[in-house]
């Protein structure tokens, strides 16, 4: 039995004092803040799941974005005139930039959201196949930072492009349909492990050179052929795509997790899927520019190679963005420099961050942790240790972001990805910051980042969409 006095005492504990209400930061669960919008969030995430199931490579995402842009009234830069308001441009089929000029001037700067569209995968080597009795093996080189052991026994689908000796582009996709085969990197049975195997650090469980996938097992029925398994594989590829082994020299073909997006938890509140990092932010940024109602110029930028350091002619380190702005200024017969336009811009580096996993709470600073289900995350800086290779946003810009989100009733939180010396990671923000623009990292928290099956909350996805849209619309 609980007496009335005890009830009153418990009630007093639950209620915050006046000074706590007035002075303490109060982070609220986003599901509770957006209770009336739960059904909308679920419907929104159904469309997102369809997107990530169908678009895995940079080229596929760029092509999807181009189709969406055209559907919403954007024209290619080559077709644009000085009075065109909505313009897009692609770069090597792996970058795209969309700009909606509204009624503003470039000299006033842009609202920019930039996301990377490359993701973790296993790239086929230039000599992609070999026989290792009794299998045909696919020779692979992993892309980006992965825990190699997590990719064992995962069904993998083949995606990519090959240019044959005539220079003709051939698109490859095998393993996404239910009636198609997948590829697998097999693991060692637990019964065969040596005692010392259990003491190995995770980085030594499997080496990079051992991350080769089983590609076939039935030899070609031809007595004259010496390498019957290799011949069977290449014949199957030739029958379907008219390609030969030498064509893989001029190719970009990779294995991606063939896993479909699934709801996680009895309440279906979480989405599990490969590569939320950073396809979720790419999807949200382009959806927000399509729906934002504002008159000032705004832009979405998709870049490649972020997971390997942002180097190359399709990366954030390339001149693609600056060259596009320069051509746009000339098209509109304005007189300022591209760098001046960018310096007056405000930007979001749209990327995911780490969320708190209670099992690994010791890796986090619990007073500065980001929680799944508490809305989008605003991160002032990333990196690790001494804040190397990261942008550290100005306090003035954070103040502006606070006003944007608070006035739009956006569920948002602020924190750090991990303990100071635990680790960290970079984004494209410090590369955009070189133009002297205001920029900060904003995106949903994710669990199991860089694994073949990452987790993020539906309410965080929806809150991030609302945040990006509010960023575009704020006056």
For the stretch 43-84, pLDDT in tens is: 999 999 999 999 999 999 999 999 999 999 999 999 999 999
Same domain, 372 and 437: yes
Same domain, 391 and 446: yes
Domain at 185, CATH number = 2.30.250.10
Cβ neighbours of residue 389 closer than 8 Å, sequence gap 6 or more: 383, 426, 430
pLDDT at 61: 98
Strand boundaries in 187-330, DSSP class E: 213-216, 251-257, 262-264, 270-273, 298-303
Same domain, 450 and 353: yes
Q: How many domains does the chain have?
A: 2
Lowest mean pLDDT among 348-357, 364-373, 400-409, 463-472: 364-373
Give the pair of three-digit tokens for residue 57. 């490579």
Judged against a pLDDT cut of 70, whether residue 4 lies above it is answered with no
Mean pLDDT of 120-140: 97
Query: Domain residues for 430?
Result: 30-119+274-473
Same domain, 59 and 125: no
Residue 453's pLDDT band, with cuts at 50, 70 and 90, is: very high
Judged against a pLDDT cut of 90, whether residue 387 lies above it is answered with no
Mean pLDDT of 329-351: 96
Neighbours of 145 (CB within 10 A): 11
Same domain, 469 and 430: yes
Residue 388's pLDDT band, with cuts at 50, 70 and 90, is: confident
pLDDT at 190: 86
pLDDT at 152: 97
Same domain, 107 and 190: no
**64 lies in some domain:** yes
Report how far residue 415's alpha carbon sits from residue 394's, in angstroms, rounded to the nearest whole number.
15
Judged against a pLDDT cut of 60, whether residue 146 lies above it is answered with yes
pLDDT at 10: 52
Judged against a pLDDT cut of 80, whether residue 431 lies above it is answered with yes
pLDDT at 32: 95
pLDDT at 195: 72
Of 257, 289, 316, which residue constitutes the final position of a domain? Answer: 257
Helix (H) or strand (E) holding 121: strand 121-132
Judged against a pLDDT cut of 90, whether residue 470 lies above it is answered with yes
pTM for the model stands at: 0.94
**13 lies in some domain:** no
Same domain, 97 and 197: no
Beta strand 270-273 with 376-379 is unpaired
Task: Measure CA 81 to chain center.
Answer: 33
**263 lies in some domain:** no
Same domain, 83 and 115: yes
Report how far residue 215's alpha carbon sits from residue 185's, in angstroms, rounded to the nearest whole number.
9
Same domain, 348 and 317: yes
pLDDT at 269: 98
- The percentage of the chain sitting over the pLDDT mark of 90, rounded to a whole number, equals 84
Mean pLDDT of 152-177: 98
Mean pLDDT of 382-401: 91
Of 257, 291, 325, which residue constitutes the final position of a domain? Answer: 257
pLDDT at 8: 55
Judged against a pLDDT cut of 70, whether residue 455 lies above it is answered with yes
Across the chain, what does the average pLDDT equal? 94
Judged against a pLDDT cut of 60, whether residue 7 lies above it is answered with no
Mean pLDDT of 10-29: 79
**376 lies in some domain:** yes
Report how far residue 49's alpha carbon sits from residue 317's, in angstroms, rounded to the nearest whole number.
30
Nearest to 437 by CA among 118, 113, 116: 113
Nearest to 329 by CA among 319, 320, 318, 340: 340
Residue 267's pLDDT band, with cuts at 50, 70 and 90, is: very high
Same domain, 214 and 159: yes
Domain at 378, CATH number = 3.40.630.10
Angle (nearest 5°) at CA 402 between 397 and 406: 155
Judged against a pLDDT cut of 80, whether residue 222 lies above it is answered with yes
SS3 410: coil
Task: Measure CA 333 to chain center.
Answer: 36
Same domain, 292 and 319: yes
Judged against a pLDDT cut of 70, whether residue 12 lies above it is answered with no
Report how far residue 427's alpha carbon sits from residue 316's, in angstroms, rounded to the nearest whole number.
10
Judged against a pLDDT cut of 80, whether residue 11 lies above it is answered with no
pLDDT at 179: 97
**4 lies in some domain:** no
Contact (Cβ atoms closer than 8 angstroms) between residue 447 and residue 363 = no
Judged against a pLDDT cut of 90, whether residue 448 lies above it is answered with yes
**19 lies in some domain:** no
Mean pLDDT of 313-323: 97
Cβ neighbours of residue 158 closer than 8 Å, sequence gap 6 or more: 172, 173, 174, 175, 183, 253, 254, 255
Residue 14's pLDDT band, with cuts at 50, 70 and 90, is: low
Number of Cα atoms under 13 Å in the Cβ half of residue 149: 8
pLDDT at 69: 98
Same domain, 299 and 234: no
**21 lies in some domain:** no
pLDDT at 77: 98
**3 lies in some domain:** no
Cβ neighbours of residue 185 closer than 8 Å, sequence gap 6 or more: 122, 140, 151, 152, 153, 154, 156, 211, 212, 213, 214
Residue 13's pLDDT band, with cuts at 50, 70 and 90, is: low
């Amino acid at each position: 039995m609980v007496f009335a006095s005890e009830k009153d005492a418990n009630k007093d504990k639950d209620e915050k004092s006046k000074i706590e209400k007035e002075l303490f930061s109060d982070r609220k669960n986003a599901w509770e803040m957006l209770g009336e919008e739960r059904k909308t969030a679920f419907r929104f995430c159904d469309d997102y799941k369809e997107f990530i199931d169908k678009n895995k490579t940079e080229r596929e995402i760029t092509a999807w974005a181009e189709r969406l842009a055209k559907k919403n009234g954007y024209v290619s830069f080559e077709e644009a005139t000085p009075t065109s308001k909505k313009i897009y441009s692609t770069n090597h089929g792996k970058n795209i930039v969309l700009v909606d000029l509204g009624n503003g001037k470039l000299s006033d700067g842009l609202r920019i959201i930039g996301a990377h569209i490359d993701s973790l995968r296993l790239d086929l080597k230039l000599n992609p196949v070999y026989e290792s009795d009794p299998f045909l093996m696919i020779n692979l080189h992993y892309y980006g930072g992965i825990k190699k052991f997590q990719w064992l026994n995962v069904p993998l689908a083949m995606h990519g492009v090959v240019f044959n000796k005539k220079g003709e582009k051939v698109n490859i996709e095998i393993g996404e349909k239910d009636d198609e085969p997948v590829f697998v990197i097999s693991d060692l049975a637990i019964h065969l492990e040596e005692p010392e195997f259990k003491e190995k650090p995770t980085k030594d469980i499997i080496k990079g050179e051992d991350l080769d996938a089983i590609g076939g097992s039935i030899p070609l029925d031809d007595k004259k052929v010496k390498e019957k398994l290799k011949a069977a594989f290449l014949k199957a590829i030739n029958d379907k795509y008219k390609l030969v082994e030498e064509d893989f020299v001029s190719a970009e073909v990779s294995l991606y997790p063939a896993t479909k997006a699934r709801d996680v938890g009895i309440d279906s509140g979480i989405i599990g899927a490969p590569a939320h990092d950073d396809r979720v932010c790419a999807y949200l940024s382009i959806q927000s520019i399509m729906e934002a109602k504002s008159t000032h110029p705004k832009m979405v930028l998709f870049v490649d190679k972020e997971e390997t350091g942002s180097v190359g002619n399709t990366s954030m380190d390339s001149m693609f963005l600056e060259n596009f702005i320069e051509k746009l200024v000339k098209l509109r017969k304005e007189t300022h420099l591209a760098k001046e336009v960018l310096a007056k811009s405000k930007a979001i580096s749209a990327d995911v961050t780490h969320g708190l996993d209670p099992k690994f709470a010791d890796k986090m600073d619990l007073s500065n942790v980001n929680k799944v289900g508490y809305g989008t995350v605003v991160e002032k800086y990333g990196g690790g240790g001494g804040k190397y290779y990261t942008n550290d946003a100005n306090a003035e810009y954070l103040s502006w972001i606070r006003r944007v989100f608070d006035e739009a009733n956006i569920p948002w939180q602020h924190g750090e990805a991990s303990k100071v010396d635990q680790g960290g990671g970079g984004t494209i923000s410090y590369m955009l910051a070189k133009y002297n623009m205001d920029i900060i990292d904003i995106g949903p928290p994710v669990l199991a980042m860089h694994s073949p099956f990452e987790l993020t909350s539906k309410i965080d996805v929806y809150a991030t969409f609302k945040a990006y849209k509010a960023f575009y619309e704020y006056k």
